[in-house]
Amino acid sequence: MEPHSFKKVIIGLIFSMTLLPSSSSSSAPCNFPAIFNFGDSNSDTGGLSAAFGQAPAPNGETYFHAPAAESFGLPYLSAYLDSVGLNFSHGANFATAGSTIRRQNTTIFQSGASPISLDVQLVQFSEFHTRSKIISKQGVFHKLLPKEDYFSKALYTFDIGQNDLTAGYKLNLTTEQIKAYVPDVLLQLSEAVKRLYDQGGRTFWIHNTGPVGCLPYVLDRFLTSATQLDKYGCGSPFNEVAQYFNQRLKDVVIQLRKQLPLAAITYVDVYSVKYTLISQAKKLGFELPLIACCGHGGKYNFNNSLRCGGKITVKGKEILIAKSCGNPSVRVNWDGIHFTEAANRWIFQQIASGSFSDPPLPLKMACHLSKDGAMNKFR
């Protein structure tokens, strides 16, 4: 996703997953004393804004507040790059808006791609892990950093890859050309999981990528023909690439389970959840799923040159043009790129139960190894 970090907006649902009650029984809920997240703007809680500045108002008018985290007593997950007044005792968030799995041969100012690609996030984690051992022994810092055993008991979450696909469209690549580089992208994701495993990580929660062809941003910028739309108005070629990415990601997870026998790896079918929300929006209490709540102009209320919070100057005075809609709580898409707080809350409710996961275990049981193989449900 584009690098507009929503530090105080619903940047995703990963941190709604910061659960959980502890137990040592193999059939009881897991003990996740910490969470370490790797991703893009779907789960950025302030990383990119700490480096490049915060998004303008009205971004932040609704704030997800990670309700599940609060319900189970864990604090909001702090962005690793944010240096002011933070507490990393229960983990850290290495995600930044615009991040990709594979490094992009461009700059954030040219294409919107974050310089903090997944390999950089892994370097940051390694530094954090190493320095935590040293600094936690100094003065009051032990209260602000994870205990050493937290790293092996933690939940490691991934929500990244979507920007790797849209990067190809920005280069005017065809669907087949983008598919051709997906295996290399996923190889790098696989290596990242292995590196975390080598450093003690044992529980991994991996989201597949969503239906990018249903984003106003993609529909406005890249769609070339009405014949590319499916019956719900989403761009079929773009969703085809996302589904291809997800199928290959399943294969990668299968291999990782064989290669990392002590790891509990959950594959989460976020694509199906989001597509269900978009295709059945009215039935679920939402409206206008393909139109941005906050934006200005065009069929999808999205203008890449005047995004949410965008202003124009008239007679020396700035005027806010790209405003929020009247009721974000019934809208699916916030700014053409990200989902609204209400949509993310609904999405979380669907995936937390394990109904869209493989193995089909609720998040609070994600530390348990699968006994019956996996990846059967979505085959």
Which residues carry out catalysis?
41, 335, 338
What's the DSSP call for residue 229?
B
Torsion of CA 178, 183, 185, 191, to 10 degrees: 180
In this structure, the number of other CB atoms found within 10 A of the CB of residue 109 comes to 9
Q: Which residues of 27-47 are buried (b: 16+ CB within 10 A; e: fewer)?
A: eebbbbbbbbbbbbbbbbbbb
* CA atoms within 13 A of residue 234's CA, in its CB half-sphere: 22
Pairing of strands 35-39, 91-93: parallel
Extended strands (E) in the chain: 35-39, 91-93, 155-159, 203-207, 264-268, 311-314, 317-320, 357-358
Q: What are residue 314's DSSP bridge partners?
A: 317
What's the DSSP call for residue 203?
E
27: phi then psi, degrees, rounded to nearest 5:
-105, 5
Quote the crossing angle between the two packed helices 236-259 and 270-279, to the nearest 10°.
150
DSSP 288-349: -TTS-SSB-STTTT--TTS-TT-EEEETTEEEE-SBPPS-GGGBSBSSSSSB-HHHHHHHHH
Pair 199, 127: CB distance under 8 Å: no
CA distances from 98 to 112, 170, 203, 313 (A): 6, 13, 25, 28
Quote the crossing angle between the two packed helices 162-170 and 236-259, to the nearest 10°.
140
- Residues 358 and 296: their CA atoms lie apart, in Å, by 40
